[in-house]
Structure 1
Amino acid sequence: MKKIVALLGILTLTISCKTAGTVNSGATLKNAFKNKFYIGTAMNLPQVHETDEKSVGIIKNQFSSIVAENCMKSMFLQPEEGKFFFDDADKFVAFGEKNKMFIIGHTLIWHSQLPNWFFVDKDGKDVSAEILKQRMKNHITTVVTRYKGRVKGWDVVNEAIMEDGSYRKSKFYEILGEEFIPLAFQYAQEADPNAELYYNDYNEWYPGKVQTVIKMVKNMKSRGIRVDGVGMQTHVGLDTPSINEYEKAIVDYASAGVKVNITEMEISALPSPWGTSANISDTVEYQAKMNPYTKGLPENVKAEWENRYLDFFRIFLKHQDKIRRVTLWGVTDAQSWKNDFPVKGRTDYPLLFDRNDQAKPVVKKIIQLTKEK
């Protein structure tokens, strides 16, 4: 009798482990979107190193694509000039290969999370244009070559255009002007001619930004510089942008002859003091009204949040011919960067899996959308 009880216990444990993150048997996001577009998630270090076993189970079970949340950013890959650290990135890529996933590298050139040495000489003064070009080329070539044929797509340049369509006045821009973007794509293309190359940005539905990005993409393509996709980060809230605004942006980007990637999606249920933003340097004085749901979402807000996700996925499915990938920026609510943005201590509920590593009801509804005509 004891043996039977023990065996039943083992069987129960095995079943519960195998179904972590599932909605019901066989119904997963990965399977539902198999013939439509990749469905992906960002991975943090506990997941890359597989110490967060529950969320790793969800990733393996639910997603067909992965992107590194932080470990492939330049400040981590090359903290000192010429001294590269690949341990975490290597594990990330190996995880993707082992689980047969479409692996995305994020990000090669970005003004933020960049090592301090990148723009300055030994005296702390801005380097010349030629030196900056060489540093860019060395970084991109070293990183992309290491993962040639393994990382399938790269966010080559991240967040270089402002909402009004002007260029962000980053050090890259100040030293090299607009040309730093074509140069980055050229270096990446030379390092791995077969990898997909993307431009990635947030608040990507603003008309001024859309126009400039399209112009930039067309200009590069006319010069023989390959651009395969535009990344729409999709850090959105309950109100902004409207679905019509977002759909128009998808169609407009696709008209430039590139695929659209939804790259960092989450939907915040919390009020935002400026609408929506993904600029991690923004800070806002803490106010209690910015953190109203510390014990969970009220039912009416939960319903509004769920309908918002469904509206977005209806648009993605409607335009699946234009979309290469839809990636969520994280797995569970517990790990989302939105919990501490724009002020420390905020409690948000922006992702598809809850703080107990369980699929929210919306996951089943999103899967159902893929079956509708």
Structure 2
Amino acid sequence: MTSCSTPPEKELTFKDAFKDQFVVGVALNTNQVAGHDPKAIELTKKHFNSIVAENCMKMANIHPREDHFFWEEADAFVEFGEANNMHIVGHTLVWHSQAGDWIFVDEEGQDVSRDVLIERMRHHIQTVVSRYKGRVKGWDVVNETILDDGSWRQSKWVEIIGPEFVQMAFEFAREADPEAELYYNDYSVSTPAKRDGIYYMVKDLIDKGVKIDAVGLQGHLTLPSPTVDEMEQAILKLASLGVKTMITELDITVLPWPSEQVTAEISLNYELEEKYNPYPNGISEEANAALMDKYRDFFEMFLRNSEHITRVTFWGVNDSQSWRNNWPIRGRMDYPLLFDRDYHAKPAVADILQMTQNK
């Protein structure tokens, strides 16, 4: 006689728990894709069904000179996603930062003409998108062109072309791959003035017949802000336009903010001071509890609004490789993700995954 035993329950993962709500993704860096961080890749394959390129698809990386594209790292990223049947996101086609030193200037270092910059933008977008046509599911077409007060960022894109560069960028991307999803992506979208500025920009694009599938709300959060309600109101307002929303670049810093302006502006850079690095040897129980509570509260809200959300993406696999350790102050020790430096799930993970089973 043989004894019957109950097979062990399959461990719940993010991609399985939320399979009926939205895809759950993570940003990967080139070292991870190249196999130099096998534990991160193991965790990625286990938990996530979407990936976004942290840096290798940004213009300065993939198109460092006008006459030269560097494909090796981006090709490897896309091939990794395909090999693991993942929803692949290209990040980002047009951004004021990491744009490449060459794109805005002529041989004398003077601003190029409007027509020249439009052609350079078209060539960049269509070359990149065409290479990955049918392989990359969606693109962050334009990144961060609305300021916190709702006005247009006076970047070189706006100064030389004008605000209509956004419409052109989306149209160029659509021409290159009509089936790809096209996104606008920005931080601090929960700030009412910025939320409204993005809302009216997207509404104008839709009214003009421009294809825009979703707005990415970057989730670079702090413990105090934004609140769940503030983020939820932004999701609902943008969804009222008939577009989907995505929570992109999700992480929550536990460290003190060094200025009155809470933002994700990448150019910020402050000096390291001890008071801004309170947990160099490990996070306190109190701070970790607050972090876990915030993650739980936000995922409850994401689940509640899953009809409007197509993707939630963490900006990094685990605490050790998060950009938060070096921005906006280099050399700090932060704990912003849901997997610690030893690749172990933090306490909130089990609770978040269980939420989907109780729905």
**Given the two structures, how large is their TM-score scaled by the length of structure 1?**
0.92
Aligned residues: 350
Alignment of 1:1-373 (within 5 A): 25-274=10-259, 276-373=262-359
Paired with 1:301 and 1:120, the residues of 2 have a C-alpha distance of 47
Q: Does the CA contact (< 8 Å) of 2:104 and 2:156 recur in 1?
A: yes
Q: Does the CA contact (< 8 Å) of 1:235 and 1:276 recur in 2?
A: no
Paired with 1:256 and 1:163, the residues of 2 have a C-alpha distance of 20
Paired with 2:152 and 2:271, the residues of 1 have a C-alpha distance of 28
Q: Does the CA contact (< 8 Å) of 2:93 and 2:142 recur in 1?
A: yes
Which letter maps to 1:276?
V
Which letter maps to 2:159?
E
Gapped runs of 5+ residues in structure 2? 1-8
Q: Does the CA contact (< 8 Å) of 1:229 and 1:261 recur in 2?
A: yes
**Which has the larger helix fraction?**
1
Partner of 2:5: none
Paired with 2:281 and 2:173, the residues of 1 have a C-alpha distance of 46
Paired with 1:242 and 1:360, the residues of 2 have a C-alpha distance of 21
Paired with 1:299 and 1:357, the residues of 2 have a C-alpha distance of 19
Gapped runs of 5+ residues in structure 1? 1-23
Which letter maps to 1:286?
L
- Does 262-271 or 217-226 show the bigger shift? 217-226
Q: Does the CA contact (< 8 Å) of 2:25 and 2:312 recur in 1?
A: yes
Paired with 2:329 and 2:191, the residues of 1 have a C-alpha distance of 25
Please give the per-residue CA displacement for 1:18-38, whole angstroms capped at 9, x wherever unaligned: xxxxxx842111110111100
Question: How far 1:344 sits from its partner (Å)?
Answer: 1.4
Paired with 1:190 and 1:223, the residues of 2 have a C-alpha distance of 16
Which letter maps to 2:220?
H
Question: How far 1:285 sits from its partner (Å)?
Answer: 2.5
Which letter maps to 1:356?
D
Paired with 2:106 and 2:286, the residues of 1 have a C-alpha distance of 56
Q: Secondary structure at the match of 1:119?
A: coil
Q: Secondary structure at the match of 1:178?
A: coil
Please give the per-residue CA displacement for 1:309-347, whole angstroms capped at 9, x wherever unaligned: 001000100000000100000001000000011111110
Question: How far 1:161 sits from its partner (Å)?
Answer: 0.4
Q: Does the CA contact (< 8 Å) of 1:202 and 1:234 recur in 2?
A: yes
Paired with 1:215 and 1:150, the residues of 2 have a C-alpha distance of 31
